[in-house]
Amino acid sequence: MHDMTNALAADAARHVENLEVIRDPLTRAAYVWLLLESERAGLRSSCNSGKVHAVRLHDHADRYLFSWSANIGHLLFYLRRPALDDLPGLAVSAKETFASASDNPCGEITIRLHDVREAAELAAWLFTKLRQD
């Protein structure tokens, strides 16, 4: 129990650090929204412990499917390779749905989010696809 409490405290401290990076209150709200919605969708979150202020999202099999990084004025959400491999058409759908969607050099899709409206659109779109799988 003590180890679990320490892990939760460390993760909470990292979330606070991530939120402090974000200057825009609307982007901070988007961060919290995504955190809550991803938990509701059955994904487990963990904070990156490195220099990048990021949240990783894992499924029930502990696969690292999605993440987002906290930046001064936006979140950069990543659709990672395991998710793209498991959900054919996800990359194309992301590019058709989100104007900010683009490929990164690792073969992932990134989507910029600035506020709760954009975070809610992403969550509704993505987590519905997860439930269909």
pLDDT of residue 132: 63
Name the DSSP letter for residue 15.
H
pLDDT of residue 25: 96
Q: What are the pLDDT tens digits along the chain (133 aa)? A: 445 455 566 778 888 999 999 999 999 999 999 999 999 999 999 998 678 899 999 999 999 999 999 999 999 999 999 999 999 899 999 999 999 999 999 999 999 999 999 999 999 999 987 776 5
Which residue shows structure tokens 């809610």? 120
What structural domains and CATH numbers belong to the chain?
Answer: 2-132 (3.90.1150)
Angle ∠(49,55,58) on CA atoms, nearest 5? 105
Question: Which tokens belong to 104?
Answer: 């990164």
Q: What is the pTM of this model?
A: 0.91
